[in-house]
């Protein structure tokens, strides 16, 4: 059994460090280099930027674009209405201001847009346009390469380097080489995406990663922020996607693209029974039909002409080929039978939901020197591709200005030794714990079972109540203790081990948030059956949290909803204060 592990320590100084090479991360790096080509901008990505993050397999529409007649304010109004009246207006508006410019940049870089005879984008709804986007991520990655930023692929971030209340860099390790990275930075932009894998997924075994959200977005950015003491918001608003059963392909291509109705097994268009047809209510209505014996539920495309068989196949091959393979396997054309739909497992994301870092309109977090953008940034749902790009731009623009008067901080060597020990210990003890069976995969199964059964997973129709949540809270604390007995067989396994550690901490925050909000504001997403009604008088406000790593406690805070006012974070050297103007 190994007693030590001695990786090569690689030290890098970066003017701006970007953690995560997805949509927001790529755009942040490109923007920073455009603003000042002399800056050293470093991007670390645990996969490979060419096919990583939410865009890895492509998309067939830009779902945040202001078609003629739409404005940034109408975009804010739409998002607010679909989110039960609780969003960060300031964040959403600043995204809305940049959506169309970000869209044009994608076209300039070579992304194919569908156009009409007049050369205008082909709309897919009021805030969406059609694209052939299978190669959207390689296109972004090429723009990133041309920017001159340094990209470190297959490198996993483990923790921020923190001095007082200031983030001065990050630690990371390679999953391909025996290298440990110590990266000093004048500013850090977190763009690591949201969290999947907290709950038991729709499919088991070798198909467990056949899900809607990327299974490799594991909440690392959230967990790093929690451990560093950053303020988080709205983890109780989980996002649950209404998707095509078995393959979890998106339904918008059919529902929006060809206006197919949702029907039950009797052929009834059941959404007609609902005045509120918001995103979460369409999911809630589907579950209700199933629970009351009128399911399964479907998207009905049987009335479409045969021309749509080709249209639908092409659209899905641009982003989710699984459904096309399923049609081929069944020997049917898309329009020959309805498409069965279901809910996914819950995800914690800031791109579709509210969850993430508590930030101001400059995308500053409550820790000096740290920004957040994309799915990891809270408060502004429905940002999608171009909204994430917009946040990457905003964060980078402010970071470029911020670092003008910032110098590199020294790093205590003892911190480096401690983090190396923490990161590599699972490899060191591999031989001793193998027989006990505490592998990362087994810890993941245990986590997902707890969350599924006691914190509102698929098996409990996403419903939660206090007694079960308290059980989840206790079980997660025990699981967190037991993880220290785990092992990793190699560097890839080590990455999975740290992903589980991060997921457990994020899951604990989710449970605390679900316990605190004593109303039901978002059906299914946050369904408190012991508090079944929406209560604007008491709960039209944000539920935030800060993790105290010394006490191992998650402290809950309330932040008011200000209806359009800006929130500001003031960085004060080693201290911090938050206020709104």
| DSSP annotation string for 92-129 | HHHHHTTHHHHHHHHHHTT--B-B-TTSPBPBSSTT-E
**553 SS3 class:** strand
Predicted confidence at residue 580, as pLDDT, reads 45
Q: What's the angle, vertex CA 388, arms to CA 144 and CA 218, rounded to 5?
A: 90
CB burial of residue 1 (10 Å; 0-12, 13-18, 19+): exposed
**491 SS3 class:** helix
d(CA 237, CA 383): 15
Spatial CB neighbours of 333, under 8 Å, sequence gap ≥ 6: 306, 309, 327
Sign of CA dihedral 122, 50, 183, 423: positive
Predicted confidence at residue 3, as pLDDT, reads 54
d(CA 265, CA 294): 6
C-alpha 199: how far from chain center: 14
What is the band of 27 on the pLDDT scale with cuts at 50, 70, 90? very high
Does position 373 have pLDDT exceeding 70, yes or no? Answer: yes
Per-residue pLDDT reduced to its tens digit, 263-292:
999 999 999 999 888 999 999 999 999 999
Confidence (pTM): 0.95
**556 SS3 class:** strand
Predicted confidence at residue 577, as pLDDT, reads 37
Least confident of 101-105, 338-342, 565-569: 565-569
Question: Looking at residues 498-523, what average pLDDT do you find?
Answer: 99
Predicted confidence at residue 430, as pLDDT, reads 66
Total residue length of the chain: 581
Domains of the chain by residue range: 242-343
**Mapped to the 3 state alphabet, what secondary structure does 388-426 carry?**
HHHHHHHHHHHHHHHHHHCCCCCCCHHHHHHHHHHHHHH
Query: Which tokens belong to 380?
Result: 């502004």
Predicted confidence at residue 572, as pLDDT, reads 66
Query: Which tokens belong to 31?
Result: 């923007």
How far, in Å, are 254, 260, 365 from residue 302 at the CA level? 12, 9, 49
Nearest Cα residue to 156 out of 546, 500, 509? 500
**Catalytic site residue from 98, 130, 243, 282:** 282
Tell me the chain's radius of gyration from C-alpha atoms: 23
Percentage helix, strand, coil, to 5, in the chain? 40, 20, 40
Question: Looking at residues 338-357, what average pLDDT do you find?
Answer: 97
Q: What's the angle, vertex CA 89, arms to CA 84 and CA 91, rounded to 5?
A: 120
Residues 186, 407: contact at Cβ < 8 Å? yes
The stretches of 112-186 forming alpha helices (DSSP H) are: 136-147
Does position 510 have pLDDT exceeding 80, yes or no? Answer: yes
Per-residue pLDDT reduced to its tens digit, 31-79:
999 999 999 999 999 999 999 999 998 999 999 999 999 999 999 999 9
The pLDDT mean for the chain works out to 94
Is 282 a catalytic site residue? yes
Does position 188 have pLDDT exceeding 60, yes or no? Answer: yes
Query: Which tokens belong to 551?
Result: 């006490």
**236 SS3 class:** coil
Write out the CATH class of domain 242-343.
Answer: alpha beta
Per-residue pLDDT reduced to its tens digit, 128-146:
999 999 999 999 999 999 9
Residues 547, 509: contact at Cβ < 8 Å? yes
Predicted confidence at residue 433, as pLDDT, reads 59
**560 SS3 class:** strand
Predicted confidence at residue 436, as pLDDT, reads 65
The stretches of 455-554 forming alpha helices (DSSP H) are: 466-482, 491-516, 536-539
Query: Which tokens belong to 120?
Result: 């205008």
d(CA 326, CA 149): 40
Peptide bond into 296 cis (omega under 30): yes
């Amino acid at each position: 059994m190994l007693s030590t592990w001695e990786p090569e320590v690689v030290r890098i100084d970066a003017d701006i460090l970007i953690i995560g090479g997805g949509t927001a991360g790529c755009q942040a790096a490109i923007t920073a280099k455009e603003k000042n080509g002399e800056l050293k901008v470093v991007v670390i990505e645990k996969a490979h930027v060419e096919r990583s993050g939410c865009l890895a397999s492509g998309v067939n529409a830009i779902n945040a674009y202001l078609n003629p007649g739409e404005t940034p304010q109408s975009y804010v109004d739409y998002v607010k209405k679909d989110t039960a009246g609780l969003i960060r207006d300031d964040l959403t508006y600043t995204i809305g201001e940049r959506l169309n410019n970000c869209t044009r940049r994608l076209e300039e870089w070579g992304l194919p847009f569908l156009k009409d005879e007049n050369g205008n984008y082909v709309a897919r709804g009021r805030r969406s346009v059609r694209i052939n986007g299978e190669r959207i991520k390689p296109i972004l990655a090429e723009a990133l390469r041309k920017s001159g930023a340094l990209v470190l692929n297959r490198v996993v971030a483990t923790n921020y380097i923190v001095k007082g209340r200031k983030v001065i860099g990050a630690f990371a390790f390679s999953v391909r080489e025996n290298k440990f990275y110590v990266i000093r930075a004048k500013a850090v932009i977190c763009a690591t995406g949201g969290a999947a894998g907290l709950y038991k997924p729709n499919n088991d075994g070798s198909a467990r990663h056949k899900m809607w959200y990327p299974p490799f977005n594991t909440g690392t950015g959230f967990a790093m922020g929690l451990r560093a003491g950053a303020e988080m918001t709205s983890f109780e608003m989980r996002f649950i996607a209404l998707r095509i059963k078995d393959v979890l392909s998106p339904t918008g291509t059919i529902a929006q693209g060809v206006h197919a109705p949702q029907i039950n097994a009797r052929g009834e268009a059941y959404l007609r029974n609902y005045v509120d047809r918001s995103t979460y209510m369409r999911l809630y209505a589907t579950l209700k039909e199933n629970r009351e014996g009128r399911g399964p539920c479907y998207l009905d495309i049987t009335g479409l002409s045969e021309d749509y068989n080709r249209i639908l196949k092409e659209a899905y091959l641009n982003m989710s080929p699984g459904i096309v393979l399923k049609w081929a396997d069944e020997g049917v054309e898309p329009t020959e039978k309805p498409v069965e739909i279901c809910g996914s497992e819950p995800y914690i994301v800031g791109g579709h939901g509210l969850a993430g870092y508590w930030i101001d309109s400059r995308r500053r977090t409550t820790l000096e020197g740290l920004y957040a953008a994309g799915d990891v940034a809270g408060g502004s749902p429905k940002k999608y591709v171009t909204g994430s790009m917009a946040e990457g731009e905003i964060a980078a623009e402010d970071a470029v200005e911020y670092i003008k008067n910032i110098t590199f901080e020294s790093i205590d060597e003892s911190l480096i030794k401690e983090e190396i020990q923490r990161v590599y210990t699972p490899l060191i003890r591999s031989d001793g714990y193998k027989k006990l069976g505490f592998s990362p995969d087994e810890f993941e199964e245990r986590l997902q079972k707890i969350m599924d059964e006691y914190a509102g997973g698929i098996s409990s129709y996403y419903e939660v109540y206090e007694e079960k949540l308290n059980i989840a809270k206790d079980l997660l604390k025990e699981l967190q203790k037991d993880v220290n007995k785990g092992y990793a067989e190699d560097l890839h396994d080590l990455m999975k081990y740290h992903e589980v550690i991060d997921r457990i901490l994020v899951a604990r925050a989710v449970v605390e948030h679900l316990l605190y909000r004593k109303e039901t504001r978002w059906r299914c997403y946050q369904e408190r059956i012991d508090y079944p009604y929406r209560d604007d008088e008491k709960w039209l406000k944000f539920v935030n949290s800060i993790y105290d790593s010394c006490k191992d406690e998650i402290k809950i805070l309330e932040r008011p909803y200000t209806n359009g006012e800006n929130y500001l974070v003031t960085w004060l050297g080693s201290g911090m204060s938050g206020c709104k103007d």
